[in-house]
Structure 1
């Protein structure tokens, strides 16, 4: 006898097929979700990696940026003055890993009468955080700021163009630093090459006190006890003259002298790393150390700047 089902019902066979299709569909969704999760796990930083492909290294903390070394193992290579033009050679420090692709780079100049050795501590410290760092000698120890600015740029061109580590460097993400006359040279380089992503003059000295032409995010670091380049006539006017629309900051070290940048210094390293990461790598994970503005402390006499940053 044939069984008649009420209108709107489905047959047992149809019901079984529907349940089977449902299980198949749910299984496909689960597989897709698992695949997406796997892909996210395989991409450093997960979804953030797509937002900023230049993030390098693990999520930062106060302890990680104050540490003597970051997460990257580093190596170094010497560059003879005889093999280059426009500057006096130096030492390149770089992460040994190639798994993260290319890195941003920074060139650092010493000050008046000084050699590369006076700023050498910054090389491995910054490189281990995920940068290629070139500490240079200048053509002569008596070179003035404008010449040192030209030499910083010549060193950047060598680093990205012909150096043995050029394949590790992203030539679109570059910065400059310098001490004393090298700090004055840092401002000169930033003025002459607006494409630079970051500039950090360290207790800088220059006869030119105004820098309205600078378009590079700049962190000016001075020292409250500086009698060679007093902040009232150097670092503060430098900072104040930078365009108000520019991402800029002024850090005055407490209990420090003109020569404080010549030895390992946690405060200089912490804020230099944060500035370079934020503007060379566009790594907004480091914004937390720059904005809100750091408070005065045992090591900071004054800190001012514009927040939030726009670049």
Structure 2
């Protein structure tokens, strides 16, 4: 081939459009890319319309506070429950939030579970920690009061417009934990229940249709896991989204003060089932392994719904 011969086609560089036509084509390409990007965001939002807050990480779910600033208001005693404190995200820019009612145990007041209020609210929930009508109330009564507190939140509270009344859950410690099972049994529409070292004379819960995470403690002598948390868990329907977390080196009172393991898995469970936020599935499935803080963890994976 002579020096003046043209280069083969495979070696030739494609020419870029020049002038006004080139500019128009370049602009069109940029707009097409933006449209695809926005469509992807819209599709993601449509798939999980209840997602609140940034994508979670291990650090974020273990943190003492989430991304939302939190306000609180005091609730006076009513005929349905003994009053309480409502913790809620201050911002309304993200729309409505799911709500959670939390009850204390036998002889205790809301102060026993109050640490969970701002911690969960800062992750994107409206939370009410309640006092019961009597500190001697049994689990069934505490269950009724948890439901009364949720009804108050969604129907007459000052933050009712911030709440999606279809996205509700319950938690509780000891007899309050037994009460959360009672509430789930009585109101199947609840989206999540998290009994913490629960106590109840009723040992079987086949009626429960609410996704339930039961937290026990290996050193619990008040509500030993062998006669409370474990039989509660095993009696739940096998097809239900359910899990059993047994704390390692912990006592009955472990959930009454700031506890990273309790908060981490409770938050993940509430997010996964109240908000249908599958971004939190990674912390629940595969099942967490035994560790310095976890004696054992059982459950069904992957979760459905």
Is TM > 0.5 for Structure 1 vs Structure 2? Answer: yes
Map of 1:189 onto structure 2: 183
Once the two structures are superposed, residues 238-283 of structure 1 have per-residue CA deviations (whole angstroms, 9 ceiling, x without a partner) of 0000000000000000111111111100000000000000000000
Tell me the equivalent position of 1:26.
Answer: 25
Q: After superposition, what is the alpha-carbon deviation per residue over 1:208-257, rounded to whole angstroms, capped at 9, x for unaligned?
A: 00000000000000000000000000000000000000000000001111
Question: Aligned to 1:70, what secondary structure does the other structure show?
Answer: coil
Match of 1:104 among 92, 98, 102: 98
Residue in 2 that maps onto 1:16: none
Give, in whole Å, the separation in 2 of the partners of 1:29 and 1:160.
Answer: 48
Counterpart of 2:74 in structure 1 is 78
Higher-Rg structure is 1
Distance in structure 2 (CA, Å) of the matches to 1:227 and 1:48: 46
User: For 1:34-54, what per-residue CA distance to the aligned partner results, in whole angstroms no more than 9, with x for missing partners?
Assistant: 5526746xx9x6541121110
Q: Which residue of 2 aligns with 1:36?
A: 35
TM value normalised by structure 1 = 0.89
Looking at structure 1, the residues matched to 224 and 74 of structure 2 have their Cα atoms a distance apart, in angstroms, of: 34
TM-score, normalising length from structure 2?
A: 0.91
SS in 1 for 2:252: coil
Q: Which moved more, 1:22-31 or 1:161-170?
A: 22-31
Structure 1: distance between partners of 2:22 and 2:180: 65
Deviation digits for residues 45-85 of structure 1 (CA, Å, limit 9, x no counterpart): 6541121110111110111000000011101000011xx32
SS of residue matched to 1:186: helix
C-alpha distance in 2, partners of 1:238/1:54? 30
Aligned CA-pair RMSD: 1.9
CA distance in 1, matches of 2:30, 2:229: 59
Query: What is the rounded CA distance, in whole Å, between the counterparts of 1:28 and 1:71 in structure 2?
Result: 37
What residue number does 2:146 align with? 152
Equivalent residue, structure 1, for 2:5: none
Counterpart of 1:276 in structure 2 is 270
Cα deviation for residue 305 of structure 1 reads: 0.3
Of the structure 1 ranges 247-256 and 28-37, higher mean CA displacement relative to structure 2 is found in 28-37
Question: Paired residue for 2:4?
Answer: none
- CA drift at 1:33: 1.8
For residue 95 of structure 1, what is the aligned residue in structure 2?
89
Q: Provide the rounded CA distance (Å) in 1 between the counterparts of 2:196 and 2:70.
A: 24
Find the counterpart in structure 2 of residue 285 from structure 1.
Answer: 279
Superposition deviation, residue 20 in structure 1: 9.4
In the alignment, what sits opposite 1:11?
none
1:67 pairs with 2:63? yes
* Aligned length in residues: 289
Asked if residue 170 in structure 1 is aligned to residue 169 in structure 2, the reply is no
Give the Cα separation in 2 of the matches to 1:143 and 1:252. 26
Q: Deviations over 1:167-213 (max 9, x none)?
A: 11000000000000000000000000000000000000000000000
2:241 is the alignment partner of 1:247: yes
Q: C-alpha separation between the residues in 2 aligned to 1:100 and 1:213?
A: 35
Question: Which secondary structure does the structure 1 equivalent of 2:25 belong to?
Answer: helix
Task: Determine the C-alpha separation between the residues in 1 that align with 2:22 and 2:182.
Answer: 68
CA displacement at 1:289 relative to structure 2:
0.3
